[in-house]
Amino acid sequence: MTSVLVGFSWKISLFIFFRLLQGFSAGIITPLMSTLLVKTAGPENIGKVIAIVTTPMIFGPIFGPVLGGLLIEFSSWQWLFFINVGVVALAIPLLIRNLPDFPAVDASRKLDIIGILLLSGMSIAMIMGISKAADSASFLIPSTLLWLAIGGGLLLAYILYDRHSPYPTVLPLRLFHHRTFKATSIGLFLANIAIMGPMFLLPLIFQNMLELTTIGAALALIPQGLGMLVMRPYIGRMIDKVGAKRVVLVSVALSMLGSVPLVFITQQTSFIWLSFVLFTRGMGVGGITIALSSDAYTGLDEQDLPPAGVGINVIENFGSSFGTALLATVFAATTLTAGQVAGFHAGFLVSIIALILVALPALFLTPK
């Protein structure tokens, strides 16, 4: 329903409002799926099960840009949302038929409206601050500092609210006292900056530097998705066999091999070489996210699984949004002073730094 409303939006304010409703409804799915997976698979099989169940998501980076490019090229942007109607129409009967009924972990628990508003406001304020910096190509502007201060204030308010609330909050901060959950949260935040941020730059490189069409740029992203797909079956088994710690460290090293060359890309860079680099990068980044997501639930009690799923989903979404805004700001600021090519290089350099930093929390993950 919300996809239809977004498609029929006739002004930007309605578009944003309906996208908020769409995000609210879709945001329930991921933490719910993670919780059900952990409950049914058990800790000894969680890596393999998450790798299997999330494999269809890999087809998004492979076919999504191509389909989006075709829709925009031969139709209109509205069909980017109308196409969801057919997908949902197929999914609902399958869910009704195959999804088992699970008893509620805590039926007395109520929706934490105050906590949701505080966390949502904090995320919006932080991202708005970075976005304002991207518009002005500088972090040292009043609007950016104001929004970041508001975001910091809302975060402090949530900390105080969580500490003194008589009811369970949407994201209990006591979860971060658990070493593995804290390490995976930091790792996922950094990983989403390193992985999702460049997804903003790569289409611009293909179109502005290599002068590809919209569809050509979409096709050029396929090697990265194929790299993720090829490694998927092995990653889950390796997580359950040798632990998330080793998988993340090896995946970071492999991702570096596919990321460092992007800092030196020019208009003369071979398209075949670039495809190989993206394929290598895809092989690495898949191992990072699956291993971190799998280990986040290690050692948690059953009643902590639902809020842990919410927390991981919030951190991943905030990391990807923050990373995209951060790289956009770095790209805009560098382009303004040194040119577009230097802007691309600077953006990828920031993502590489975030990728290196992922190795630090990985040292505290489960060894086996």
Instruction: Calculate mean pLDDT across residues 155-176.
Output: 87
> What is the per-residue pLDDT for 84?
77
Distance CA 180, CA 292 (A): 9
* pLDDT beyond 70 at 41: no
The b-or-e profile of 42-73 (16+ CB within 10 A means b, else e) is eeebbbbbbbeebbeebeebbeebbebbebee
Residue 157 has pLDDT above 90, yes or no: yes
Is the pLDDT at 358 greater than 80? The verdict is yes
pLDDT digits (tens, 9 = 90+) for 10-36: 777 777 777 777 777 766 666 667 666
Q: Is the pLDDT of residue 149 over 90?
A: yes
Percent of the chain past pLDDT 70, that is, above it, reads: 83
Q: What is the pTM of this model?
A: 0.79
> Is there a contact between 91 and 3 (Cβ–Cβ < 8 Å)?
no
Average pLDDT value for the chain: 80
Answer whether 368's CB lies under 8 Å from 251's CB. Answer: no
Task: Answer whether residue 284 shows pLDDT above 90.
Answer: no
pLDDT at position 336 is: 82
**pLDDT tens digit sequence for 227-271:** 888 887 777 778 778 888 888 999 999 999 988 998 888 888 888
Residue of higher predicted confidence among 53 and 200: 200
What gap in Å lies between CA 60 and CA 58, rounded to an integer? 5
Nearest-CA neighbor of 18 among 6, 27, 30, 8?
6
Q: 1 versus 145: which is more confidently predicted?
A: 145
Q: What is the DSSP letter of 209?
A: I
Distance CA 285, CA 5 (A): 34
Q: Tens of pLDDT along 299-353?
A: 777 777 778 877 888 888 888 888 888 888 888 888 888 888 888 889 899 999 9
Closest to 207 (Cα-Cα) out of 64, 340, 71: 340
